C-alpha cells in the first residue's frame, strides 16, 4: 500500500512538473497566428493603417523607454533600475538582426500584449504588457505596420540585464502572470458613455498611466489595473519622483481640476495648477501633446469619474495668507525670499500658468516629499511644445544649497499658505542627492510603493 502511495505521489509530481514546464515555456496563441504565416516582418499595411499606428505609438509613448539621450529613436539601451539589478530596454526598430524586423504580426502581438519575445523568453513587466493587453487587435496591427514601414532600422545589439543568475531566469515570469496579468482586451462598459469608454481604453491601455501612478506590491506588480480598485491611479513613488494621484483627491489628486484644465495640462504642459515636470515631462513631450483634442477630452472625462479618498487625502486645502510676523523670519523663509519668491511669488501663487504655484500644489501637499526634493536639487527639463522649447524652467540648486538649507526651504514651503504638509529633513535630501546625482552612473532603483 505504501509503495502504491509513493508511486502515485511521484507520478503526480511528474505531471505537475511537466504541466509547469509547459506553462512556463508555451507561446500564447495570437489572433494573428494565421495572418502571420507569410514571411516574418512582411506587412501590406496601407498608408492609413500606418498613420494610425504612428498615432498609437504616440499614445503608448514607445519612444520614451526605447530611446536613450542622444541615441537613435527606438534603438533601446535605456537602463531601468530594479531591486535586483538594472535591465535595459530593447531595440524595437525593424532591423532584422538586432531589432524586430524578423517578427511576424503574431510574434509582435505576443511581445506587446502578452510579454513573450519571438524566441519564447518572457519580458520583464517593466514593459507594460499588462496594460497593453487591453489594446484592440486593430490598434496592435496598425502599430506593427508603423514600426515595419515607417521606423528607420538601426543595427544596435541589445544589452543583457545586470540581474545575476539565478534571479535573471525569465521562466518564473509565466507564473507571475497568473495573479497579476489579466490578458483580455478592453471591454466597454455599456452603462457608460462612448466618451468615458474611450478615455478608459486610453488610460488603462496604450497610455498605461497606471505604470507610474498606481502603487506597486511586493512582486513589483501594479496593485490595480482599472477603476475596480481604489488603489488604481492613487499615486506612487517611482525613480526619485512621486507620481501623484489621478483620482479626485482634492489635495494630492485632480479634485480641484476641471476636465478642461486636465486637457490643457495634457495638451500644453501647463495650467493654473501646475506645469509638467519629472517623468511626466517625457510623457508630455513625446505623447500627450500629440493626441487629438477628442481623445484628451475622453481621458479627462474618465479621470474625473474616479472618486477620491477623503480618509487618505485629509481636509481639502484652502489658501491661507501668511500671518503678520512678530519675530525674525525662519531660515527657510529667508532662503525662499532669496531663491524662490521672484518666480513663485511671495504669496506662493506662481505666475499664472507659466510658473507653477507652490500654494496648494499637489506635489507640495503630498506626504511624500520626493518630487519637491528632486526638482529643487536637479531642476526640471524643458517643456517642448510643437518643437519649441519653453523659456521657463526650474533651475537646479544642487550646487547652491546644502542638504540642511534645502530641507529648511522645503519645510517652509510645505507649511506655508495653508499647505500643512510634513517637514523635510536633511537626511531626506541627502538620500535623494546621492541617488539622483546626474553625474553618477548608478541606476536609480524602482521604489515599490
Q: Is 62 annotated as a binding residue?
A: yes
Q: Has 209 been labeled as part of a binding site?
A: yes
The answer to whether residues 147 and 100 touch, using CB atoms and an 8 Å cutoff, is: yes
The answer to whether the Cα torsion of 427, 433, 435, 441 is positive or negative is negative
Distances (CA, A) of 287 to 97, 136, 268, 291, 355: 28, 19, 11, 7, 22
116 backbone dihedrals φ, ψ, rounded to 5°:
-125, 120
Any binding-site annotation on 212? yes
343 marked ligand binding residue: yes
CB 374 within 8 A of CB 444: no
Residue 208 marked ligand-binding: no
For 12, the 3-state DSSP assignment is helix
Annotated binding residue at 121? no
Q: 272 near 313, Cβ under 8 Å? A: no
Distance in angstroms (rounded) separating the CA atoms of residues 28 and 120: 9
340 is in an annotated binding site: yes
Cell 510579454 sits at which residue?
Answer: 115
User: Residue 192 has which C-alpha cell?
Assistant: 457608460
CA dist., res. 396 & res. 264, Å (int): 26
65 is in an annotated binding site: yes
Q: Which three cell numbers stand for residue 379?
A: 531642476
Q: What is the DSSP string of 285-332?
A: HHTGGGS-HHHHHHHHHHHTTSB--HHHH-SPP---PPPPP-SPPPHH
Annotated ligand binding at 273? The verdict is no
Prior bond to 208 cis, omega within 30? no
Enter the C-alpha cell of residue 313. 487625502
CA distance 398 to 105: 48
User: Residues marked as binding for heme c?
Assistant: 62, 65-66, 209, 212-213, 340, 343-344
User: Residues marked as binding?
Assistant: 62, 65-66, 209, 212-213, 340, 343-344
Amino acid at each position: 500500500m505504501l509503495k502504491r502511495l509513493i508511486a502515485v505521489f511521484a507520478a503526480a509530481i511528474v505531471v505537475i512538473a511537466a504541466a509547469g514546464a509547459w506553462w512556463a515555456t508555451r507561446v500564447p496563441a495570437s489572433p494573428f497566428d494565421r495572418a502571420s504565416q507569410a514571411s516574418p516582418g512582411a506587412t501590406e499595411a496601407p498608408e492609413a493603417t500606418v498613420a494610425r499606428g504612428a498615432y498609437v505609438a504616440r499614445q503608448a509613448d514607445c519612444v520614451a523607454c526605447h530611446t536613450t539621450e542622444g541615441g537613435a529613436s527606438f534603438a533601446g539601451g535605456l537602463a531601468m533600475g530594479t531591486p535586483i539589478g538594472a535591465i535595459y530596454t530593447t531595440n524595437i526598430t525593424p532591423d532584422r538582426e538586432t531589432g524586430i524586423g524578423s517578427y511576424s504580426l503574431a510574434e509582435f502581438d505576443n511581445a506587446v500584449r502578452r510579454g513573450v519575445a519571438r524566441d519564447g523568453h518572457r519580458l520583464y513587466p517593466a514593459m507594460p504588457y499588462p496594460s497593453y493587453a487591453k489594446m484592440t487587435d486593430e490598434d496592435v496591427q496598425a502599430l506593427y505596420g508603423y514600426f515595419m514601414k515607417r521606423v528607420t532600422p538601426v543595427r544596435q545589439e541589445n544589452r543583457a540585464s545586470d540581474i545575476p543568475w539565478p534571479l535573471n531566469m525569465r521562466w518564473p515570469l509565466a507564473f507571475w502572470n497568473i495573479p497579476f496579468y489579466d490578458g483580455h482586451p478592453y471591454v466597454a462598459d455599456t452603462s457608460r458613455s462612448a466618451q468615458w469608454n474611450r478615455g478608459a481604453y486610453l488610460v488603462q491601455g496604450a497610455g498605461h498611466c497606471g505604470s507610474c501612478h498606481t502603487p506597486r506590491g511586493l512582486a513589483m506588480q501594479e496593485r490595480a489595473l482599472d477603476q475596480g480598485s481604489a488603489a488604481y491611479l492613487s499615486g506612487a513613488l517611482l525613480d526619485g519622483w512621486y507620481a501623484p494621484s489621478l483620482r479626485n483627491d482634492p489635495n494630492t489628486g485632480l479634485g480641484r481640476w476641471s476636465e478642461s484644465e486636465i486637457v490643457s495640462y495634457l495638451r500644453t504642459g501647463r495650467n493654473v495648477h501646475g506645469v509638467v515636470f519629472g517623468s511626466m515631462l517625457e510623457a508630455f513631450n513625446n505623447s500627450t501633446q500629440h493626441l487629438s483634442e477628442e481623445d484628451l477630452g475622453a481621458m479627462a472625462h474618465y479621470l474625473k469619474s474616479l472618486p477620491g479618498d477623503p480618509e487618505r487625502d485629509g481636509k481639502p486645502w484652502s489658501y491661507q495668507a501668511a500671518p503678520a510676523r512678530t519675530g525674525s523670519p525662519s531660515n527657510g523663509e529667508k532662503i525662499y525670499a532669496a531663491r524662490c519668491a521672484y518666480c513663485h511669488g511671495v504669496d506662493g501663487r506662481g505666475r499664472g500658468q507659466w510658473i507653477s504655484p507652490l500654494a496648494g500644489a499637489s506635489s507640495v501637499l503630498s506626504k511624500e516629499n520626493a518630487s519637491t526634493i528632486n526638482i529643487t536639487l536637479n531642476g526640471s527639463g524643458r517643456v517642448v511644445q510643437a518643437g519649441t522649447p519653453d523659456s521657463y524652467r526650474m533651475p537646479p540648486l544642487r550646487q547652491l544649497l546644502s542638504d540642511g538649507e534645502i530641507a529648511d526651504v522645503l519645510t517652509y514651503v510645505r507649511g506655508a499658505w495653508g499647505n500643512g504638509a510634513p517637514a523635510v529633513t536633511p537626511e531626506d535630501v541627502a538620500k535623494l542627492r546621492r541617488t539622483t546625482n546626474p553625474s553618477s552612473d548608478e541606476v536609480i532603483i524602482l521604489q515599490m510603493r
